[in-house]
Structure 1
Amino acid sequence: MRTERRDGAPEADAPWNEIVPGLWMGGHRYRVGGGGLAPAVVGDQFDIVISLHREDGYGPAPWVEHHLFELPDGPLRPEQLEAVCLLADRAAWAVRSGRRVLVRCRAGYNRSGLVVAQTLVTLGFTADDAVFLIRRHRSPWALNNRLFVEYLTTGLDVARLLTGLEPDGLLG
């Protein structure tokens, strides 16, 4: 099994990483010793799991609050950007309430990075600080989708409006 992604980024070294207290970011597989990949299966380690990619058998446990919204790792439509904002609001509320939140996608770099960064913005961080924290605590390869970083620095509410102006969107 390959340990490098199509975009040249190495697979993550951990199933998930804590970005700020109570807010974790991860994927569905990670690199293990010996160069192989292991599944990042979630049980009940978290109070809330937000999944932006779905694969059967990766959890979480049935009693864990789980939000599934599949997102592409590419240009997003206005309704997808709105969903990112709603998921980030839910995650920010949970973190403020002392709950443990995992946001995950396939590799744990871009889609989860977008939601985690927007969660951090909702919690009061700047977009630049959010991106910095994610890259520092998850991986320097996190948020390597430049469009997602543009969405964040523009502001997701503004990006949502702009992407709705043209059939292909101004930012997408």
Structure 2
Amino acid sequence: MKTRQKDRDNRPPEDPWNEIRPGLWMGGHVRAGEEPVVVGREFDLVLSLYQREGHGPPPGVEHHFAEMPDGPLNEAQIAEVERFAVLAAEAVRAGRSTLVRCHAGLNRSGLVVAQTLVGLGLTVPEAIALVRLRRSPWALHNELFVQYLESGLPTARLLVGLGP
């Protein structure tokens, strides 16, 4: 399955990950220059929307993976975004350090982190603005993902499930 768009004009951020709000981090598997980012034991929970061999986390760190494209999502994939956002919000409320990551840490992780922030009480515009402020101005540049957030993920999931 193709999970990354190849038409990227945006470089990955310099930082491997950034704290979006206390306990909630957003990052990628690579940073500027395609330098690999490997997760060790920095986090209590890692939620990955892209996976690359040798990029961690090590055994003993709670890790969930859902392969997801950086493009239109199907009903099951939107449900996984919702599930990951609930896991992240619960972990943050419990004081657990949580990393949400994808390839460059811009779109897929941004979708989950923004939805997590909504679950923690922010509005959608506030969540999107905070992700862009703390991670990168290029975060959530996938307008379809912004539309999913604006319509509400449950509504987006139902609409996608109706088909063409």
Q: Percent identity?
A: 58
Aligned to 1:145: 142
Higher relative contact order (CA 8 A, sep 6+): 2
Alignment partners' CA distance in 2, 1:27 and 1:83: 18
1:118 aligns with 2:111: no
1:47 alignment partner AA: D
1:89 alignment partner AA: V
Residue 162 of structure 2 aligns to a residue whose secondary structure is coil
The structure 1 residue matched to 2:81, chosen from 65, 81, 84, is 84
**Structure 1 length-normalised TM:** 0.90
Q: Deviations over 1:106-144 (max 9, x none)?
A: 010000000001100111111111100000000000000
Following superposition, which runs of at least 4 residues in structure 1 exceed 2 angstroms of deviation?
none
Tell me: CA distance 1:37–1:166, structure 2 relative to 1, closer, same or farther (3 Å).
closer
Aligned to 1:157: 154
Aligned to 1:105: 102
Alignment partners' CA distance in 2, 1:58 and 1:165: 37
Residue 149 of structure 1 aligns to a residue whose secondary structure is helix
**Structure 2 length-normalised TM:** 0.94
Residue 64 of structure 2 aligns to a residue whose secondary structure is strand
Alignment partners' CA distance in 2, 1:88 and 1:166: 24
For residues 68-79 of structure 1, the aligned pairs below 5 Å read: 68-79=65-76
* Structure number with bigger Rg: 1
How large is the Cα RMSD of the aligned pairs? 1.0
Residue 164 of structure 1 aligns to a residue whose secondary structure is helix
Unmatched tracts of structure 2, length 5 or more: 1-5
Q: Deviations over 1:138-166 (max 9, x none)?
A: 00000000000000010000111111112
Shift of 1:7: 2.1
